[in-house]
Chain A
Amino acid sequence: MSRKTLLTSKEIEIILHRLACQLIENHNDFSNTVLIGLQPRGSYLAERLVTILEQEYGIKNLQLGLLDITFYRDDFRRNDEPLEATPTKIDFLIEHKKVVIIDDVLYSGRSVRAALTALQAYGRPENIELLVLIDRRFSRHLPIQPNYRGRQVDAINQEKVVVHWKETHNEDAIILENK
């Protein structure tokens, strides 16, 4: 198995700051915006962005929700491995809000499709945007594109993009693995 580091911790830091600035351009003080991290892996990215927005750009009262999409996935009972759910923590409604869905890697687009369905249970938002750290090109199964992307990656199907976070792996890194 070959491994190649796509992004180092320093590069990720720069990208996170750029994404935070791009969000501010469109959402000002975030008074009508909520951020939704997709469980489990999108939530690390979402929490990191919230920290940067609050501590370095002085944004206050950011609303962050964590959404689990397990029960909305379209591959239930189609894989050999059972799906494992994680908690959903959204203690607000998204009615008339601007929503930014946050996930680490955009691949087939099916998770985002499931997230769009799941969010309907929380109201009718004004609009929904998508922010991803890694956008894998040429691999989409659905007509879904990100509004904010950290880095675009061309990877063939046997390759896997793995995101390591400080919280789980001691350091930030994005790695391309070839099975």
Chain B
Amino acid sequence: MKQLSVEHLLGIKYLNPNDLELIFETASHFKEVINRPIKKVPSLRDITIANLFFENSTRTKLSFELAEKRLSADVINFSAGQSSVKKGETLIDTVNNILSMKVDIVVMRHSNVGAGVFLSKHVDAKIVNAGDGTHEHPTQALLDSFSMREALNTNSLKGKKIVIVGDVLHSRVALSNIFALQLQGAEVKVCGPTTLIPRYISSLGVGVETNLKKALEWCDVANVLRVQHERMAIKYFPSTREYTQLFGINKEILDNLGKKIVIMHPGPINRGVELTSDVADSDQSIILNQVENGVAVRMAVIYLLAQQIKR
């Protein structure tokens, strides 16, 4: 029967193709729900969810919170900035304290790789990884694939060509996207300055292209990543201006491709760096659709995990 094969959503690499299809199908039902006049269903009335954000986030946190509220769950929020973490409490202690308030699902973002996996082994709750360091951001990859299917008007990404442009080295979005796209049979290339491409990335079966124009000519969809200045302790490229000249996408490049590709960005955009404003706001860009689909996909993930909690 239709159920996820995993107990937690820790990363795309733990999922199988059937899980993805189930999540997308469920998300399409929820997308219809969030376009109704009353955008709410009572499914999760007796579920309590804690959103633990040990790292800053605007859109993911709002999106999760909205998804939870649309499912009628009770929601508590926690941001590390104003918490006892600063007083030296350990992660397990923090979470167990929260769980003693009878919480069923924990949505967590943490700056350490593997924080979600670690937590899932030590606490008794469903864990949803909302980003762990530079490792995975599974719900972003799910909503990206869901949006690609919608933009390309297809039920399958098999054989589609997707290029991930930019700071692949620091990007959890890139890794989760690679796993998700490969599960669906898509072809993936990464494109960016060699300093921002992990050296052994081809071992994952993705192509590497350092020429932006060639990469865009090859692809159906370009998923453009943000340059994560805050994760860069050293200089990875000489100047932002040079990065923009070599890897920034502008309207002129797009118009000269001879075909119409889809432009995506997980946000927040550095306007004028990786994308110019006229590209970000053009009809080729589905950035705001991604945000809308984010709520539906997160509703689906939470609904499907909650389904496994027996009363």
Contacts and interface: CB of A to CB of B under 8 A. Distances in A.
Given A77-B306, A77-B309, A84 B38 contact: no
Contacts of B33: 71, 88, 121
Interface in B24-59: 25-26, 28-29, 32-33, 36-43
Interface in A55-110: 68, 70-72, 76-78, 81-88, 93
Contact of B41 (A71, A84, A87): A71
Given A72-B42, A117-B42, A122 B26 contact: no
Interface residues of A, number: 22
Given A117-B42, A120-B38, A122-B37, A77 B310 contact: yes
Nearest to B309: A77
Contacts of B28: 87
A118 B43 CA distance: 11
B2 interface: yes
Nearest to A69: B41
Nearest to B30: A71
Contacts of B42: 71-72, 117
A121 B38 contact: yes
Nearest to A73: B43
A121 B1 contact: no
B122 interface: no
B311 interface: yes
B307 interface: yes
Contacts of B3: 82
A114 B37 CA distance: 18
Contact of B36 (A72, A76, A117, A121): A121
A81 B26 CA distance: 16
Task: Among A76, A120, A122, find the residue whose CB has the most chain B CB atoms closer than 10 A.
Answer: A76
A178 B215 CA distance: 63
A120 B37 CA distance: 10
B304 to A, nearest CB: 8
A72 B72 CA distance: 11
B307 A121 contact: no
B70 to A, nearest CB: 10
A85 B310 CA distance: 19
A93 B37 contact: yes
Contacts of B71: 71
Nearest to A76: B43
A147 B93 CA distance: 58
A121 B37 contact: yes
B261 to A, nearest CB: 30
Contacts of A81: 1
A82 B29 contact: no
A78 B311 contact: yes
Contact of B32 (A78, A84, A88, A123): A88
B94 to A, nearest CB: 27
B2 A84 contact: yes
A85 B37 contact: no
A117 B45 CA distance: 14
Contacts of B303: 71
Contact of A121 (B40, B309, B311): B40
Contact of B29 (A72, A88, A117, A123): A88
B29 A83 contact: no
B36 A122 contact: yes
Contacts of B25: 85
A62 B32 CA distance: 22
Contacts of B26: 85
Contacts of A71: 29, 33, 41-43, 71, 303
A70 B29 CA distance: 10
Nearest to A123: B37
| Nearest 7 pairs of A and B residues by beta carbon | A71-B41, A121-B38, A85-B29, A71-B43, A82-B3, A121-B36, A82-B307
Given A117-B42, A121-B33, 4 more contacts: A71-B33, A71-B42, A71-B303, A85-B25
8 contacts: A68-B29, A71-B41, A77-B306, A77-B311, A86-B29, A87-B29, A122-B37, A123-B37
